[in-house]
Homo-oligomer: A and B are copies of this chain.
Amino acid sequence: MSQKVFVSAQEVADRAGVSRSAVSRTFTPGASVSPETRRKVLEAADALGYHVNHLARGLMRNESGIVCLIVSDLATPHRSGMIKVLTQELQHSGKIAMLVNTDLSDGSVDLALRQAIHYRADASIILSGMPDKSIAQLCLKSGQRLVLINRDDEQDGPLRINLDDEEAAGRILIAFLRAGCRKLAFANSEAGTPSLMARENGFVAAARAHGLDVVVERYGWTGYESGRVLAQRLLTRNQRPDAVFCATDLLACGFMDAARHQFSISVPDQLCVAGFDDIEQASWASYQLTTFAQPLATIAREAVSWLESGPVANSEGRTSAIRLHADLVWRSSIRGG
């Protein structure tokens, strides 16, 4: 194997008997090159295995084609599903994803984020519960476009994509009522992110509108284990709930497991359960969880097409916001249907 690995535009130019500019123009859409020259260049490029160096191109164009995904709870079913559709959509539009994992607590997060900025990423998509607005600020100040998914930062500039959590909460309440439930509970984590709180508040408000109270319990991180603890707390009360809306499918799975295996409560006969996200596990036979599906494909498409719309039209801080509808996926964790 030769020591010299990459071919430069100069070498292609030499072989094709044209100038280096001609090579550059051949690979620049919309540039003025004659068919004949283009043919010669492409031929030489192919023979030499030439490819445009994106580092150099990004340097010149001042636009790298890199989109930075800033993610916490990476391994969670919902988040990984989101990453999957986002990377697909990005690749589809010729961009490439850089991944910044914000799970760690040491300084490496900050470091990686700065890294991403130093690579002059064109944009960042934040799917992180991290309440730290400074990240977003940093991205904006670096001239990146910014997409916030399921966060509700009151900020100018970014595209904000959210679900109509309150409305969904109202719908699930109706479903509980139809099933004959009256002793309502809401199981939440302590994360306190806007979407989680919207679900909680929407549920409580809807119940109140029907003259009903909701027992709200919050605990820990938004995961399976927290669901179990929440079940422990809610199912040992004097007035045991007969319906619980969990802020997340993961919580719901933990909740159901504790209810069944620990308290021998039958779902949905004695207890109706609903979740949110429609992760894969919600459809598993052991859960059959009624839940709300996040429109992942739509979210990804909206996000990427907004990014593609170019860095223009940014009328000095005009905020764009998209509010999407979450479909109710009906399964057997609620009676009736």
Report the minimal beta-carbon distance from A20 to chain B, rounded to whole angstroms: 16
A112 at the B interface (CB under 8 A): yes
A59, B51: Cβ atoms under 8 Å? no
* Known contacts A84-B103, A98-B97: A108-B120 contact under CB 8 Å: no
A118 at the B interface (CB under 8 A): yes
Which of B55, B79, B98, B104 has a CB less than 8 Å from the CB of A99?
Answer: B98
A77, B77: Cβ atoms under 8 Å? yes
Which of B55, B104, B285, B316 has a CB less than 8 Å from the CB of A55?
Answer: B55
Interface residues of A in 101-148 (CB under 8 A from B): 101, 103-104, 108-109, 111-112, 114-120, 141-143
A96 at the B interface (CB under 8 A): yes
Which of B84, B98, B258, B280 has a CB less than 8 Å from the CB of A285?
Answer: B258
- Stretch of A87-95, A181-189, A211-219 at the chain-chain interface: A87-95
A115, B80: Cβ atoms under 8 Å? no
Residues in B neighbouring A112, C-beta threshold 8 A: 91, 96
Interface size class, chain A: 35 or more
Which of B51, B111, B141, B261 has a CB less than 8 Å from the CB of A286?
Answer: B261
Residues in B neighbouring A87, C-beta threshold 8 A: 74, 99-101
Knowing that A96-B98, A286-B286 are A-B contacts, what are 13 other residue pairs whose CB atoms are under 8 Å apart, sorted by A's residue number?
A51-B114, A51-B117, A54-B120, A55-B59, A56-B59, A66-B98, A74-B83, A74-B87, A75-B80, A83-B99, A88-B103, A261-B286, A262-B285
B65, A59: Cβ atoms under 8 Å? no
Interface residues of A in 284-314 (CB under 8 A from B): 284-287
Instruction: Indicate how many identical chains form the complex.
Output: 2
Give 18 pairs: A residue, B residue, CB < 8 Å, sorted on A: A5-B142, A54-B118, A54-B119, A66-B119, A69-B99, A75-B84, A79-B80, A84-B101, A87-B99, A91-B112, A92-B104, A96-B99, A96-B116, A96-B119, A224-B280, A228-B285, A254-B284, A281-B281
Report the minimal beta-carbon distance from A322 to chain B, rounded to whole angstroms: 23
A residues neighboring B (CB under 8 Å) = 1, 5-6, 49, 51-56, 58-59, 64-66, 69, 74-77, 79-81, 83-84, 87-88, 91-92, 94, 96-101, 103-104, 108-109, 111-112, 114-120, 141-143, 224, 228, 253-254, 257-258, 260-262, 280-281, 284-287, 316
B101, A91: Cβ atoms under 8 Å? yes
Expressed in whole angstroms, the Cα–Cα distance for A142 and B103 within the complex equals: 32
Report the minimal beta-carbon distance from A303 to chain B, rounded to whole angstroms: 15
Residues in B neighbouring A101, C-beta threshold 8 A: 84, 87-88, 91
A75, B64: Cβ atoms under 8 Å? no
Which of B91, B100, B253, B262 has a CB less than 8 Å from the CB of A111?
Answer: B91
Report the minimal beta-carbon distance from A89 to chain B, rounded to whole angstroms: 10
Residues in B neighbouring A55, C-beta threshold 8 A: 55-56, 58-59, 64, 119-120
